[in-house]
Structures are given as structure tokens and as C-alpha cells.
Amino acid sequence: MKTEVLNRGIVFEKKKSEWRGYELVGFWALRSTLVLVLFILGVIVFDIVSKGAGVINWEFLTQPPRVGMTEGGIFPAIVGTFYVTVITIAFAVPLGVGAAIYLNEYAVQGKFTRLVRMSVRNLAGVPSIVFGLFGMAVFVKIFGFGPSLIAAGFTLGLLTLPVTVTASEEALRTVPKAYREGSFALGATRWQVVRTVVLPRAIPGIMTGTILGLARAAGETAPILATGAAFFLPHLPDSVTSQFMALPYHLFIMSTQHHAISQVRPIAYGTALVLLALVCILNLAAVLLRKKYRDRVAKGL
Amino acid sequence: MVSITEKAMKAIFVFCGLAIILFLVGILYILLSNSMPGLIELGLGPFFAADRWNPGAYGEPTYSLLNMIYGTLMVTLGALIFAVPVGVAAAAYLAEIASPWEREFFKPIVEVLAGVPSVVLGFFGLVVLAPLIARAFNLNSGLNAFNGAILVGIMALPTIITLAEDAITAVPKEYRHASLALGGTRWQTIWKITTPAAFSGITAAAMLGMGRAIGETMTVLMVTGNMVARPESFLDSVRTLSAGIAIDIGDVVFNSTHFHALFVAGLLLFLITFAVNLLADILIQRKPEVSK
């Protein structure tokens, strides 16, 4: 007889008779919902991989679009997405980690920290197109950046801020209290404790948050519609005030706005595959990294 | 002795925390200040009038958001009808029944689904789901509210599953022990004890899923057809508030009435999602009460 230890700390005898009659039906009904989730993801991934894989070759990844975007590759869109996510991270990570350090290391827990945390959660729920409107009004117009890499990067940075704050806070919380108390007892100041004891141990967790934020920013389209993404550009962006092509926006126009939609369908599939692969790899990396450091924390190292 | 570095670092971190609040307030301020000229010029009435959104019309442009509100409602409700039961059932399974390896296997899958960019999901709806729907219902085009509801439901699923699972897992284990000790089966424990105890958390999960669905932009923009006419059924083309903004945002004239009208739509969207999220937040903070 096999025994199974549940995470609630009870030891159940696992018997065949545990699920019977309508309960067995219910058991399978619940289980089938997860199979459905797997099926949905499988169908989407299969469709895009099977129809997109044939398009992808070295030329597709390294050449700009040609002949009215009906031939050639998606190189400028890959470069644009890379540039804009770098700006996003440069904006969101210092601010997000800073806010997390404030919440977890400096602040006295009370009304104000509750308000900050509530703002983080509500910021996470703001629709992406509203960020687009905000970015257009503030970064493009008021700050006068015009439609540009920097305007789009800042807009996406705001959007990913809740991800980085939440992940960084979780990472800081995994550092045992005793470490801090030990350092304080030796006469270290708060900043010394944060810099030399807390932050080094929280780095893997912060990295996870950064990668998740990157994945989020790389796939977003709505916030960059009016803040800098361009239909087609003959040159790569040469400064932060240039407009840029981006993978998600490229997929959007190739599937809905192009003058010869059915002709460019393979290119759209190829773009979708590259974008999906990029986002999935980033997400998977974050999941693995998180698992690794959670295991380490669980072992008390 | 407190050094200058100490003080400076503290000031920087306090500023970072403060900045988060300022951003949220800033978004509200920008939406208000840019929609005000439109509201002052037209008043509130025209935005909810029975006519259509037609800001480009010669002579008399109209700015009614009403049909877009219907569109958003239809897509959101349609999405929730399928995403909430499926999501809560999946969460109950993950939290109460799944063996460790099943959890290890399914949780990353839910996370990967959450990570699929909305534009990719929209593309899938456009090229795969739309032809299927068109054939199934004998329509000219499968770009309608039904298509949008399915895809937005898929988008909301991971949010609902993750948060509902957290809520169910947070129910004190004494509840389960008591139920099982009294001879309840695990099925009875799940449906009579743990799920009711986690009810406020599950409701919050559904609401956050709803917030996602209301604000979802690219997917609906690509699969709902975007007609501004009053929708009669789920098989009609609809335009949602978010898609309505996305369509016009690219070439709207700065500071025109049209521009301000877009911010009115944005403000409405912001206020709805803010209210939904705030309510969900209050529900999440409510821990299951342990009777002493």
C-alpha cells in the first residue's frame, strides 16, 4: 500500500476506494479541466510551431523586410523589441527593487505601506491600452520625446513595475531575519545590511522578477501603438529618440493591416513563432530559476 | 552616527515606494485632465447617447461609447461564463487532489499559458478559431463577440486558476482535519468545507479575471470584428472600449475633441477595472474566519 504525504502534513492511506460513484466522476471532471488547459495551450503552440517553423531560417532572422514587406525577414523587429525591453528593464528594475527594499527593509509596516502595496496591485490591473494613453500624453507629448524607443520603453516600464516589485519583495522576504539581526548586532548600519547581506542573497529572486518583466514587456502591443512602434522603417533605430519596429506590433500589422494579408500569412506565422518562443523561453527560465532558489531556501542554505 | 550615505539611501528607497503611488495617481490625473476638455465641450450625455461612435464624420461627429460598453460587457461576460467554472475546478483539483508530480507538471503549464502574448492569442483566433466559428454557425465571418469571449476566457483562466488555488490552499488545515475525522470523504470536504471557506478568495480570483477580461485589448481588437453597430447576439461583430481606443490612438489629432473623447473612454475603462480590482483586493484581505 502506497502512502502519500500531502503538503498539509497529513498522511493519507492511498486506497483505490477513495473515489467512488459520483465522486469518481467529479474527480475526473476536475482533473479534465487541467487537461483542457493543457489541450488549449497544446493546440495554440502546435498550430503556430507547425506553420511557423518552415518560415524560419537564417535569412528570416537576420534580414529586413523587402518588397513592401511581402518578402525578407524580421530582423528590425527583433532588434527593436530587444532595445525597447532594455529600456523597460532599465526603468522598471531599479525603481521596482528600490520600492521592494523600502517596503521590506526600511518601512514601518502600517497605513502607508498598505497604501503602497495596494497601489502595486491596482497598477497591475490597469488595462494595457490605458498605459498606452498615459504614455502618449506624458512621454510623447508632455516630455516631448515624440514617438520613440524611450517613450515606449518608459510606458512598458510602468506596466512591468508591479511584476518587478512583487518578485523583488518575495525575494527579500526569503532572506532569514536572523541574518539581518546578526549583522545589526555586529554594528552594521541598515544600508550596509541591505547591501552586503540581504541583496546578494535576494539576487536570484530579483533576476526572476526581471525576466518575468522582460517577457511581459516583450509581448505587449497596446502600450506601444502610439508611443513609438512603427509599421516599417528602412533603418535600424540609432538613438533612444528613434521610432522602432517591434515583434508583437509586426505580428499585429502582418495579420490585420497589411495590404496582402493572405500573401504574408507565412511571415505572420514566423513572427508569431519567434515571439512565442522568445516569451516562453524567458518564462521558463524564470520558472526554473525560481524553483532553484526556492529549493535552496527550503534547504535553509 | 548616521552617515550621509545612510540618509541618502533611505531617501532613495522611500522615494521609490512613493513613486508607485504617484504613478497610479498620475495615471488617473492624466486621464482626467485630458478627458475634461471633452466632457466640458460635450457634456456627459453624448458619450452615452443611443447613436454610434463616429468621430470622423463630416458635419456632426458623434462620440457615443454605449455600443462599445455593450461590446465590452458581452465579451467579458461570455469569457467569465466559461473561465470561472473551469478555473475554479482546476484550482480545486490543484489545491486539494493533485499529487505532487501533477502539481509540478500542471503549474508551469498554467504559467506558460499566462505568458502567451495577447497578440499571439489574437492571431490564433484570427486564423484558426474564426474560420471554425464561421463554418460552425454558417456565417460569413467568424470575427465576433463569441470568438472574443473564448479567447479572453483563455487569457483570464491562468489568473483565476492561480488566485483561486492560493485561496483554497490558505484555508486552515484544521477545517480539513475536522471534516475528514468526522468521516467526510475528500469530495465532501472539498465542496462542503474548503471551497465555501475560501469563497471570498475565489470570488476575488473571478473578479481579477474579470478585470483582465475588461481591459484586454489586442486579442479582442483582432478577433471581434470591431463594428460599432449595436450588437444583437454573440455572433455579431462588436467593438470593445479597449479596442475602440487602440483603433483610433494611432492617428488621432492631438488635443482635438476626438483625442479627448478617447481619454473619456480610457477613464471609463480605468474606473471600471479600478473598482473591480479594489473590490477583489478587499475580498482577498479577508481571511477565512476561524470560529473559536
Write the CATH number for A117.
1.10.3720.10
Tell me, what's the pLDDT at A2?
Answer: 44
Closest partner residue to A107 (CB to CB) among B17, B102, B115 is B17
Q: Is A148 part of a structural domain of the chain?
A: yes
Asked if residues B203 and B276 have their Cβ atoms less than 8 Å apart, the reply is no
Instruction: Indicate the pTM of the whole model.
Output: 0.90
Are residues A213 and A87 located together in one domain of the fold? yes
**pLDDT tens digits for B187-206?**
888 888 998 989 989 999 99
Identify residue A237 by its one-letter amino acid code: P
Q: Does B132 touch chain A (CB under 8 A)?
A: no
Are residues A47 and A195 located together in one domain of the fold? no
Q: Is A63 part of a structural domain of the chain?
A: no
Binned at pLDDT 50, 70 and 90, residue A218 comes out as: very high
Asked if residues B148 and B155 have their Cβ atoms less than 8 Å apart, the reply is no
Q: Which of A85-94, A226-235, A268-277 has the lowest mean pLDDT?
A: A226-235
Q: Is A224 part of a structural domain of the chain?
A: yes
Q: Is A165 part of a structural domain of the chain?
A: yes
Question: Contact B21/A115, CB-based, under 8 Å?
Answer: yes
Number of Cβ pairs closer than 8 Å across A and B? 267
Contacts of A43 in chain B (CB under 8 A): 128
Are residues A201 and A260 located together in one domain of the fold? yes
pLDDT at B281 over 60: yes
Question: Contact B90/A113, CB-based, under 8 Å?
Answer: no
Question: Contact B222/A256, CB-based, under 8 Å?
Answer: yes
Contacts of A128 in chain B (CB under 8 A): 118, 215, 217-218
Q: What is the DSSP letter of A19?
A: S
Binned at pLDDT 50, 70 and 90, residue A300 comes out as: low
> Which residues 159-178 of A have a C-beta within 8 angstroms of B?
161, 165
Q: Which of A245, A65, A221 is nearest to B122 (CA)?
A: A221
* Ranges of H-type helices in chain A: 21-52, 58-62, 75-101, 111-125, 128-135, 149-173, 177-185, 190-193, 199-219, 247-252, 265-298
Binned at pLDDT 50, 70 and 90, residue A122 comes out as: very high
Tell me, what's the pLDDT at B292?
Answer: 36
Are residues A47 and A83 located together in one domain of the fold? no
The residue range of the domain holding A29 is: 3-52
Average confidence (pLDDT) over B149-171? 93
ipTM of the complex: 0.92
> Which residues 107-126 of A have a C-beta within 8 angstroms of B?
107, 112-113, 115-116, 118-123, 125-126
CA A288 to chain centre: 14
Are residues A12 and A150 located together in one domain of the fold? no
Copy the grid coordinates of residue A164: 518587478
Are residues A22 and A135 located together in one domain of the fold? no
Nearby residues of B107 by Cβ (< 8 Å), 6 or more positions away? B94
pLDDT at B221 over 50: yes
Q: Is A59 part of a structural domain of the chain?
A: no
Question: Contact B250/A226, CB-based, under 8 Å?
Answer: yes
Are residues A48 and A76 located together in one domain of the fold? no
Binned at pLDDT 50, 70 and 90, residue A230 comes out as: confident
Average confidence (pLDDT) over B10-35? 94
Are residues A37 and A90 located together in one domain of the fold? no
Are residues A33 and A137 located together in one domain of the fold? no
Q: Is A105 part of a structural domain of the chain?
A: yes
Question: Contact B20/A130, CB-based, under 8 Å?
Answer: no
Write out the DSSP string of B220-286: HHHHSB---SPP-STTS-B--HHHHHHHHHTTPPTTSHHHHHHHHHHHHHHHHHHHHHHHHHHHHHS
Question: Contact B154/A40, CB-based, under 8 Å?
Answer: yes
Choose, out of B119, B216, B251, the residue to mutate when testing the contact with A (most A CBs < 10 Å).
B119
What is the rounded distance in angstroms from the CA atom of residue B174 to the CA atom of residue B188?
15
Are residues A32 and A113 located together in one domain of the fold? no
pLDDT at B54 over 50: yes
Binned at pLDDT 50, 70 and 90, residue B1 comes out as: low
Are residues A167 and A283 located together in one domain of the fold? yes
pLDDT at A210 over 80: yes
CA B247 to chain centre: 19
Instruction: Specify the number of domains making up chain A.
Output: 2
Could you tell me the domains of chain B? 4-54 (no CATH), 65-285 (1.10.3720.10)
Are residues A93 and A229 located together in one domain of the fold? yes
Tell me, what's the pLDDT at A69?
Answer: 77
Q: Is A67 part of a structural domain of the chain?
A: no
Q: Is A90 part of a structural domain of the chain?
A: yes
Copy the grid coordinates of residue B270: 480605468
